[in-house]
Amino acid sequence: MCRNIGTGVAYAAAVTITFLISCLAWAGVKSKAFHPSLVKFVQWTETVPSLRLVWLSSIILIAAVPEIADRLACTTSSDHACDPPVFYLHLITFLLLGVTILVQLRHLHKVLMMTLLITVHCLLTTLHQQLVFDSFDLDVISDSFRNSFPTKYASCVMLVVILFALFWLNRYTEVTSRLLFVWKKESDAQKEQVGELRRKNEELVYNILPRHVAKHFLGRNFTENEEPYSEHHAGVGIMFASMPNFAEFYSEESVNKGGIECLRFLNEIISDYDQLLDDLRFQGSITKIKTIGATYMAASGLTNTDIYDPSVSIRQRWRHLDQLVRFALGLQEKLRALNEQSFNNFELRIGINHGPISAGVIGVRKPHYDIWGNAVNVASRMESTGKPGSIQVTEECMHLLKEFGYIFQSRGEVEVKGKGKLQTYYLVEPYPEPPPLTPV
């Protein structure tokens, strides 16, 4: 009776520990399905190979001890409490399966442990319990089969066959797992590269097109026959800023390397202008349109919606025009600083106007954002008819900017191509203090 209980305990222990090993093995693979503390413990053991090997081997040893102890106590053929010996075969099979599902161990370690278990089983079967198995053959197995291949040898051969099958399965599983791990690493690296490439592409698009226009294009597939992107704005500020004496500075003599040094200096000037766009005062309100030679073109109010709200005050509605003037003053400061560093005497001739415009993107493969309208033409004329070092505006623009504290000097009537004579004004000092920055 005690031996039957021992066999039952060994059988239950084998099943329980096999289930426990399965849970521990899967906790490292399917972490979301298990308690975080268990997952954390399993992941910690995976970082210490020697500890992992010791505690996994200990689990197998604990499962094998009850079977070995029960079999050592069962030696005589007359003790029917030891029957049937097929239980021992079931127990060792469970232990072999328990070793197989240890995904944390290499297949060679698994084969070594399984070989040790099978060796102990065969020694107990053929030497220590040979009378028990012979008695089982006499009671259960037919004479012809018993005489040709006794159960004690048949069980050992069966376990060796199982060992080879599990060896192939473990090796295949390990190779597959390693390949999946490598593929996952490569896939993660490729995803990071794709993400980085996408980020760079988006940054490039944002540098080419205004942000509100770039968002329209990103993430969409366009065809050659698709309608071009266009928009209309009722109240936009337009600025042209040029350096009329840059043409005199430009030279293609050998000292300037065929004009390359002049273009390099112009690039430095334009780059300093572009830096102003990142200033908190101008983010979201000032948009660079393009550069034409040494002329810098920008606009304000392309994302302004207050212009359509009659309840909004004039100051709020045209606040972006005030920011455009301050941007023009910032360009002058940048150029003065560059003049001091390079010992040059460049001056900006700036023209500003406001009014309705049409905007859009021309080209699909090489898109270019531009604005058109009568207000744009007049702003260009304000720049071309102005004088270096000054900001020239139209009369309507002057009345709006006076709301922000600017002071103007009348220039008189100026002949503007296509418009006849227009009354224009120069912005003069002192300039009003800039309003406090709105927290972002």
The amino acid occupying position 278 is: D
Q: 156-162: long-range contacts at Cβ-Cβ below 8 A with a sequence spacing of 24 or more?
A: 156/118, 156/121, 156/122, 156/125, 156/126, 158/89, 159/89, 159/92, 159/93, 159/96, 159/118, 159/121, 159/122, 160/118, 162/93, 162/96
- The residues that bridge with 415 in the sheet, in sequence order, are 421
Catalytic residue, candidates 257, 417, 419, 421 = 417
Tokens 């040494």 map to which residue? 294
* Annotation marks residue 281 as catalytic: no
Closest by CA to 327, choosing from 346, 304, 352, 306, is 352
Q: How many CA atoms lie within 13 A of 73 on its CB side?
A: 15
In the numeric block, which tokens belong to residue 140? 């259960």
Check 381, 402, 411, 421 and give the catalytic one: 381
Q: Report how far residue 212's alpha carbon sits from residue 91's, in angstroms, rounded to the nearest whole number.
A: 71
Q: Quote the longest CA-to-CA distance of the chain.
A: 131
The pair of structure tokens assigned to 373 is: 């309208």
Active site residue 288: no
Helices and strands per DSSP (H, E), number in the chain: 15, 8
| Angstrom distance (rounded) from CA 156 to CA 278 | 79
- Under 8 Å between Cβ of 296 and 289: no
Q: What is the DSSP string of 155-187?
A: HHHHHHHHHHHHHHHHHHHHHHHHHHHHHHHHH
Please give the positions annotated as active site: 381, 417
